[in-house]
């Protein structure tokens, strides 16, 4: 039977969360290997060593599977400890954003956004907004308010565009210019763009 072709060795049968983790990991591997357009449910099933039926019971389509893999695997930004200045706080946050973008799920999302057709693009743009942009905006706002309380950020640095500068620059340069955002690039952006915008 076709289903047994992908089964594991006799006596080893994964179920529930363990099988789901294997499938989601296989989806990310396939995205990295063949891209969005060439990714198939058959290929993911083969990579997870299971049958296609196990995928379709959980995810009706390739888009549903990939969206779930990206949503559950993108690393969270986490909290930024008080490092003593808005410059150091923002630098630490930018390093985290860069690391999320470089992670396997982050690179997979980059592939999807470049290759998927317009009917799916909105869904994945929404995913990157909720998983990366919105948390980044929220963190930047918190770090700026921390700087205002500390006294190293001007009190009127509360405009809505301030929180968009860093994510916009990082995404634009990564997508359009192919920038890898080395540590030195992040420091230069903070020192030449953000600190002058925020300083007292």
Question: Measured between alpha carbons, how far is 163 from 36 in angstroms, rounded to an integer?
Answer: 31
Topology, domain 77-198? Tetracycline Repressor; domain 2 (1.10.357)
Question: Measured between alpha carbons, how far is 58 from 21 in angstroms, rounded to an integer?
Answer: 12
Q: Which residues of 141-166 are buried (b: 16+ CB within 10 A; e: fewer)?
A: eebbebbbeeebbeeebeeeebbeeb
Q: Please report the sign of the dihedral spanned by the C-alpha atoms of residue 67, residue 80, residue 102, residue 129.
A: positive
Residue in this structure with the two tokens 């559950």, named with its chain if needed: 72
The model's pLDDT over 140-198, given as tens digits with 9 standing for 90+, comes to 999 999 999 999 999 999 999 999 999 999 988 888 887 889 999 999 999 999 999 99
Question: 2-71: what CATH class?
Answer: mainly alpha
The model's pLDDT over 102-156, given as tens digits with 9 standing for 90+, comes to 999 988 888 888 888 888 888 888 888 898 899 999 999 999 999 999 999 999 9
CB-based contacts of 167, cutoff 8 Å, min separation 6: 97, 132, 133, 136, 137, 140
Q: Structural domain boundaries of the chain?
A: 2-71, 77-198
The model's pLDDT over 41-89, given as tens digits with 9 standing for 90+, comes to 999 999 999 999 999 999 999 999 999 999 999 999 999 999 999 999 9
Question: CA 187: distance to chain centroid?
Answer: 21
Question: Measured between alpha carbons, how far is 16 from 18 in angstroms, rounded to an integer?
Answer: 6
CB-based contacts of 28, cutoff 8 Å, min separation 6: 69, 70, 73, 104, 105, 108
Question: Measured between alpha carbons, how far is 187 from 183 in angstroms, rounded to an integer?
Answer: 6
């Amino acid at each position: 039977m076709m289903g047994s072709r992908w089964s594991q060795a006799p006596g080893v049968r994964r179920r529930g969360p363990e099988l789901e983790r294997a499938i989601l990991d296989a989806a990310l591997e396939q995205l990295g290997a063949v891209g969005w357009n060439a990714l198939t449910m058959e290929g993911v099933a083969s990579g997870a060593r299971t049958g296609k039926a196990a995928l379709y019971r959980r995810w009706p389509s390739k888009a549903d599977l990939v969206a779930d893999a990206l949503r559950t695997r993108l690393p969270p930004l986490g909290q930024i400890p008080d490092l003593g200045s808005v410059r150091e706080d923002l630098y630490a946050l930018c390093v985290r954003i860069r690391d999320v973008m470089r992670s396997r799920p982050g690179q997979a999302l980059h592939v999807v956004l470049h290759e998927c057709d317009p009917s799916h693009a909105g869904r994945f743009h929404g995913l990157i907004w909720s998983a990366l942009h919105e948390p980044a905006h929220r963190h930047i706002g918190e770090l700026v308010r921390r700087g205002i309380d500390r006294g190293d950020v001007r009190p009127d640095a509360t405009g809505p565009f301030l929180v968009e500068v860093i994510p916009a620059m990082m995404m634009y340069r990564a997508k359009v210019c192919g920038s890898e955002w080395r540590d030195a690039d992040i420091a230069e952006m903070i020192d030449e763009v953000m600190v002058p915008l925020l300083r007292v």
